[in-house]
C-alpha cells in the first residue's frame, strides 16, 4: 500500500494532491526532499524515480508470498544478476528455500534504505538476509560514508526483521588488475563493515579472493566486465556462502519444505 500511495501521488495535480493528502506529507514531497546539507548521502534514504514501478512490483510480489519467504537477497546489479547469469544456480540452490531477490541494478546504499522505508519487508519474517551493497557508491561517497551507509542498512534490517540473521557480504573486488584504484578502497570499506559482525544476528563474510587469480588479477571468465560475475562467478559465490546457508537451512529441511519463490 505504501508504494501504491506513492505512485498515485505522482500522477495527480498539485491542487488535487493537496486535497487528497492534506493530513500527511505527500510522497511527491518525499521524493523531492533533498539530502540535508552536510548529511552523508550514503546513509539517507533516497529513491531513484526511474525504478519506483519496479520497487512496487517487487513489493507486491513479496507481499503475495510473504509467508513463504525465508531467505532474502538484497543489493545492486550484482545481486540482481541472480536472475540473469546466476539464474540456473539460483534455481538449484535457493528456489526451494523460499528465496526472494530484492537486488536492483545501479542501486546504492541510500536506495536500499529507501526501499526498506517503502515497505519492502513489511509482513516478511525471513530467517536469513544476504546483503551485499556499496560498490556503486564509490563514485560519489567517501569510504567512511559508504561504510556508514551499509551500517545503516544493517541496522534497518535488524529493526524490521528482528528474528532474522543478516549475512553481510564484503563488497566484491572490481577491476582487472590488483593495482586498480577501487581495490584499496573496497578493502578499507570491508575492513570497516567487518566490525558489524557479532556472530549472532550479523555474520560478516569476505570471500573476494575467490574471484581472483594468485597475482590478484581478475579473469574475464569469472567477471567479464571485471565487476559483474559470469555464471562461473555466481557458482563461486554460491559455494562460498553455502556453509552459512546450510547453517540456517539444513539440506534435509530444505528438500522437505519445497517452497519456491522467485
**Greater confidence, 52 or 10?**
52
Mean pLDDT of the chain: 88
pLDDT for 173 beyond 70: yes
Domain CATH code at residue 112: 3.40.50.1110
Which contiguous run of DSSP H or E holds residue 219? none
- Whether residues 121 and 207 fall in one domain: yes
Q: Reply yes or no on whether the pLDDT at 2 is more than 80.
A: no
Residues 26 and 55 in one domain: no
- Report, as residue numbers or ranges, the catalytic residues: 77, 225, 228
**pLDDT tens-digit map of 47-60:** 887 789 899 999 99
Statement: residue 24 has pLDDT above 90: no
Residue 12 pLDDT > 70, yes or no?
A: no
- How many structural domains does the chain have? 2
Shared-domain flag, residues 102 and 128: yes
pLDDT tens for each residue of 101-152: 999 999 999 999 999 999 999 999 999 999 999 999 999 999 999 999 999 9
Q: How far apart are CA 208 and CA 148, in angstroms?
A: 21
In a domain, 39, yes or no: no
Residues 23 and 70 reside in one and the same domain: no
Residues 172 and 206 occupy one common structural domain: yes
Same domain, 6 and 57: no
Structure confidence at residue 79 (pLDDT):
98
Determine the number of helices (DSSP H) and then strands (DSSP E) in the chain.
11, 5
Residue 43: inside a domain: no
Give the separation between CA 10 and CA 12, rounded to whole angstroms: 6
Q: Which three cell numbers stand for residue 155?
A: 541496522
Rounded CA gap, 18 and 12, in Å? 10
**Residue 28: domain span:** 1-33
Residue 175 included in any domain: yes
Same-domain check for residues 25 and 117: no
Query: How far is residue 93's CA from residue 70's CA, in Å, rounded to a whole number?
Result: 13
Please check whether residue 133 lies inside any domain of the structure.
yes
Query: What angle, rounded to 10 degrees, do the helices at 109-117 and 143-160 form?
Result: 20
Contact 101, 73 (CB under 8 A): yes
Amino acid at each position: 500500500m505504501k508504494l501504491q500511495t506513492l505512485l498515485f501521488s505522482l500522477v495527480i495535480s498539485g491542487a488535487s494532491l493537496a486535497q487528497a493528502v492534506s493530513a500527511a506529507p505527500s510522497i511527491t514531497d518525499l521524493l523531492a526532499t533533498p539530502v540535508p546539507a552536510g548529511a552523508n548521502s550514503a546513509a539517507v534514504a533516497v529513491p531513484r524515480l526511474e525504478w519506483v514501478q519496479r520497487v512496487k512490483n517487487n513489493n507486491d510480489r513479496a507481499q503475495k508470498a510473504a509467508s513463504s519467504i525465508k531467505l532474502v537477497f538484497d543489493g545492486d546489479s550484482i545481486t540482481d544478476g541472480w536472475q540473469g547469469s546466476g539464474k540456473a544456480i539460483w534455481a538449484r540452490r535457493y528456489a526451494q528455500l523460499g528465496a526472494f531477490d530484492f537486488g536492483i541494478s545501479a542501486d546504492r546504499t541510500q536506495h536500499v534504505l529507501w526501499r526498506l522505508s517503502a515497505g519492502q519487508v513489511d509482513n516478511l519474517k525471513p530467517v536469513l538476509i544476504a546483503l551485499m551493497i556499496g560498490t556503486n557508491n564509490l563514485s560519489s561517497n567517501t569510504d567512511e560514508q559508504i561504510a556508514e551507509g551499509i551500517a545503516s542498512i544493517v541496522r534497518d534490517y535488524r529493526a524490521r526483521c528482528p528474528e532474522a540473521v543478516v549475512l553481510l557480504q564484503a563488497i566484491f573486488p572490481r577491476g582487472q588488475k590488483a593495482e586498480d584504484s577501487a581495490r584499496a578502497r573496497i578493502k578499507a570499506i570491508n575492513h570497516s563493515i567487518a566490525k558489524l559482525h557479532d556472530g549472532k544476528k550479523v555474520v560478516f563474510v569476505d570471500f573476494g579472493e575467490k574471484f581472483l587469480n594468485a597475482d590478484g588479477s581478475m579473469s574475464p571468465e569469472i567477471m567479464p566486465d571485471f565487476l559483474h560475475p559470469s555464471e562461473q562467478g555466481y557458482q563461486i559465490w554460491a559455494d562460498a556462502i553455502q556453509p552459512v546457508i546450510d547453517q540456517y537451512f539444513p539440506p534435509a529441511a530444505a528438500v522437505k519444505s519445497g517452497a519456491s519463490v522467485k
